[in-house]
Amino acid sequence: DVKVTQSSRYLVKRTGEKVFLECVQDMDHENMFWYRQDPGLGLRLIYFSYDVKMKEKGDIPEGYSVSREKKERFSLILESASTNQTSMYLCASSPPVGVWGYTFGSGTRLTVV
Amino acid sequence: GENVEQHPSTLSVQEGDSAVIKCTYSDSASNYFPWYKQELGKGPQLIIDIRSNVGEKKDQRIAVTLNKTAKHFSLHITETQPEDSAVYFCAASIESGGYQKVTFGIGTKLQVIP
């Protein structure tokens, strides 16, 4: 069964900390995405990547960066965590060609205090 | 850009009844419409999808319809069961510049009452 694995289910960090959220997929997918999910706002795209070492900004990239050193791993980085980044973070991947559904990870619920 | 509106935001039905969730989209170039189910504590899971060259698709108790002229699509769940309780997201997808651009609705929380 194909999988997208997010390293942490729950995370509590202090304001100003540098935070790393890790995502690994085992489907050999080229495309990987980071979303945040907030009540009443649905899923909002933060960053995405269509190839190793490639990244593109999504709709809400401010305060975030990403890293994709290997095809299977896509990391989301909060350079200096703030309380308004408290959210559920979802990683997803998809095949490279055409339009397809995503496979999502289980999510990381991040609380910044 | 694309805008996807989803209604209702919450829906309660009795077990065995049908549930319908509706979405509208704004960009006529959108050509792929997936639906995701998110159970508590889990990530969204693709449950059914439809492409723009198809008007209806069915998979057991779940069906999706697409009206390209009106730019709306709907999810129909028949004979609902308690395990159908979840948040459902619609999405509209377009291939742009070699990339797939996906816009999600805000979600519908479905509660099936036993």
Return the sign of the alpha-carbon dihedral for residues B45, A92, B58, B91.
Answer: positive
Q: What is the model's pLDDT at position B110?
A: 98
Q: What is the model's pLDDT at position B69?
A: 94
Contact A31 B41 (CB under 8 A): no
Q: From chain A, pick out residues whose CB is under 8 angstroms from the CB of B49.
A: 101
| Burial environment of residue A61 by CB neighbours within 10 A (0 to 12, 13 to 18, 19 or more) | middle
- Work out the average pLDDT over A10-31: 95
Chain centroid to CA A44: 11
pLDDT at B47 over 70: yes
Q: From chain B, pick out residues whose CB is under 8 angstroms from the CB of A41.
A: 106
* Residues B51-65: tens digit of each pLDDT: 988 899 999 999 999
Contact A104 B44 (CB under 8 A): yes
Q: What is the model's pLDDT at position A17?
A: 97
- Work out the average pLDDT over B74-99: 91
Q: What is the model's pLDDT at position A99?
A: 66
Give how far B36 is from chain A: nearest CA, Å. 9
Amino acid identity of residue B94, one-letter, is I
Q: From chain B, pick out residues whose CB is under 8 angstroms from the CB of A42.
A: 6, 89, 104-107
pLDDT bin (cut points 50, 70, 90) of residue A27 is confident
* Residues A60-106: tens digit of each pLDDT: 999 999 999 999 999 999 999 999 999 999 999 988 766 678 999 99
